[in-house]
Structure 1
Amino acid sequence: MDISSEVVSVLDEVLSLKGRASRFALDTPLLGAIPELDSMAVVALITAIEERFGFTVDDDEIDGSVFTSLGSLIDFVQGKLDT
């Protein structure tokens, strides 16, 4: 499984970006930069990531830094899979 492309796919689906996420680079800012990524979308995104990758995320594991950029989100998912 290619973690990066799966995360991009989840982003695109949850935020209804219609393929825009496929053009994101690792340093593409997310939170505060993508209008579709509001607080409700963050919850939906976390849920979708949990389902796609088969792990659970505790509230204390998540803060704004996870959603700083595409790269930080991918790093978070990779870290969860490595534990």
Structure 2
Amino acid sequence: MAENLPAIRDEDDIDTELVLRQVLQDVLGLDAERVAEFDADTGLFGHLPELDSMAVAGLLTEVEDRLGILIEDDEVDGEMLETFGALLAFVTAKREGD
């Protein structure tokens, strides 16, 4: 699993990944074991029935709250939600930039 994830550079990146996994579990009601198996290529929007258009807003709001970032409406697109790796990369970049 870990070999497919983006390189983890420091403790903040580890925390970001753990928080993101927890948010996906909590907001979408996914099993912890299922979320633990997510790798960078795991499909999210369009692949997880639990992550529909209604769930996206709740997911992003919870990510903002737990990680202390602000996600602007114009930053939300299909690419950032396509895979776990894409969402993790986006959130990590937001934490580094804000």
Q: Percent identity?
A: 42
Among residues 6, 11, 22, which one is paired with 2:36 in the alignment? 22
Report SS of the residue matched to 2:95: helix
TM value normalised by structure 1? 0.94
Superposed CA RMSD: 0.9
Aligned-pair distance for 1:23? 1.4
Tell me whether 1:52 sits opposite 2:69 in the alignment. Answer: no
Runs of 4+ in structure 1 displaced over 3 angstroms?
none
Q: Residue 16 of structure 2 corresponds to which residue in structure 1?
A: 3
CA distance in 2, matches of 1:62, 1:33: 17
How many residue pairs match? The answer is 83
Structure 1: which 5+ runs fail to align?
none
Q: Is there any run of 5+ residues in structure 2 with no aligned partner, and where?
A: 1-11
- Between the aligned partners of 1:3 and 1:27, the Cα distance in structure 2 is 17
Cross-structure match for 1:13 = 26
SS in 1 for 2:65: helix
The offset of 1:4, in angstroms, is: 1.1
2: CA distance, partners of 1:3 / 1:44: 18
Is residue 67 of structure 1 aligned with residue 81 of structure 2?
yes
Amino acid paired to 1:73: L
State how far apart, in whole Å, the 2-side matches of 1:43 and 1:35 are: 15
- Alpha-carbon distance, 1:18 to partner: 2.2
